[in-house]
Structure 1
Amino acid sequence: MVVAGEGDYDRKVLQHLLPALHPGECPEVRMLKKPIRLARAQSKLHPRLQDIKKYANALADTAELAGIVIHADLDGVADESYDKLRRRLCEEMNGVFKGTPTALALAAYEIEAWLMLFPDAFTALHPGWKLKEADCRRDLAKLQKAKEHLMKNLGKPDYRESHAPQLMEKAVKGGHVSPKPTGNNRSFMDFAKDITAWPKAA
């Protein structure tokens, strides 16, 4: 399985998350380290997906390609524009990677809003960290600038992007991750729906 996306920390979050969502035994996760930005690609979308395909096919020379996962931060909330963009990206991905399972991690507003679905992971990583009850109840797909929100509200130590993979690792190891978590973030559940529809590995 190949994971591509915008940043190293985001890709590492997915590396921890994917085994918890995959419907069978999760295949080995390989990372495309070159940053790939799709959300605002417009006319450059097709060639960028072709770059990912070229890398994935090179890996497939030595191992069976189980699927393609692509991450992009929406930098916006989940609304009609999210639906439109997700449809466009998925259609283009399905065309380029025809015959290969795909999943789009289009995180609204950014991947930190996914992490907030698993509040126990924050305390597990740093005992002084605790999400507010209001944050646990809110529609996290509508939370603007989730990263800044955590930096402002978590307390010490200050939240950094490098904490993101550690938080997802804690969430998975703690058994908190499922395709339909207790919290609310439609962009996470759309991604989980993509992954859980993949065929089980033989």
Structure 2
Amino acid sequence: MTAKSREQSKAVVILGEDDNDRKSISILLAALRRDISRADHAPLRKPMALVRNVPPSRLPKHADRVAVLLRAVAVRKPIRCVLMHEDADDVEPAHEKLIAKIEDCYRSLPWPVHAVVPAWEIEAWWFLFPQAVQQTRSTWRSLGQYAGRDVGQIRNAKQELQRALRPSGAKPTFQSYTEADSVLIAEKIVATGALSRPPAAKSRSWQTFVDTVAAL
């Protein structure tokens, strides 16, 4: 086995706020890094690794609890790196401060830790791919009005996305965006080849994610 194949056989552990986020990140990771097998993705439902609201004095114990579970993963399969997702819940450049806090918190772990921090939420990233989003559900309205905008400045991105996709005069049976649709949107972004084209809008937190994945 070559050094490259040994590296590829290691697990990329994905921690996130919920299953939809973890699955979406895994889908995007697989498309951006086709050299990393989906079999090597290891999304974990626990531990909750969120640190944004954790006081500095509690961060070491927080990191210790996460380390225990990661070591259990490493017993089954060597870990290549850990992706830790947490929403910034604020506009850019708030993601930069949270990325630093996450990576500092887990710096003592024996594996590289890379923070995945969308601003405001992962829904802000979907504004970058309006065609893929509209194709996810035929009843959704176009996001074309966001073209060229800095979507990292959208507050309450999830609610904004729900409003933007709802056509005027929508019937009560209209299927609005839900968090579970993130997985479908991520799949559609990949299927339509949107990742190979420049995004329709701007987001520094998205570009940070792309750069992070490229460097794994």
TM range (shorter): 0.7 to 0.9
In structure 2, the residue corresponding to 1:67 is in which secondary structure? strand
**Number of residue equivalences:** 195
Q: 2:124 aligns with which of 105, 113, 138?
A: 113
Separation of aligned partners in 1, 2:196 and 2:71: 30
- Mark the runs of 5 or more structure 1 residues left unpaired by the alignment: none
Matches within 5 A, 1:13-32: 13-22=24-33, 24-26=35-37, 28-32=40-44
Normalised TM-score (structure 1)? 0.86
Q: What residue number does 2:183 align with? A: 165
Are 1:36 and 2:49 an aligned pair?
Answer: yes
Report matched runs for 1:19-168 at 5 Å: 19-22=30-33, 24-26=35-37, 28-34=40-46, 35-43=48-56, 44-79=58-93, 81-93=94-106, 95-98=107-110, 100-155=111-166, 156-168=174-186
1:77, distance to aligned residue in structure 2 (A): 0.3
Looking at structure 2, the residues matched to 178 and 45 of structure 1 have their Cα atoms a distance apart, in angstroms, of 38
TM-score by length of 2: 0.81
Which structure 1 residue ranges, 4+ long, deviate > 6 Å from structure 2? Answer: none
Q: CA deviation at 1:154?
A: 0.6
Deviation, 1:67, is 1.2
Aligned CA distance change for structure 1 residues 38 and 180 (closer, same or farther; 3 Å)? farther
Identity across matched positions, percent: 27
Maintained 8 Å contact 2:92/2:205: yes
Bigger shift: residues 17-26 or 111-120: 17-26
Larger Rg: 2
User: Residues 39 and 23 from structure 1, CA distance in 2 versus in 1: closer, same or farther, beyond 3 angstroms?
Assistant: farther
- In the TM superposition, residue 178 of structure 1 has moved relative to its aligned partner by 5.1
1:36 is displaced (CA, Å) by: 3.0
After superposition, the CA RMSD in angstroms is 2.1
Letter of the structure 1 residue corresponding to residue 215 of structure 2: A
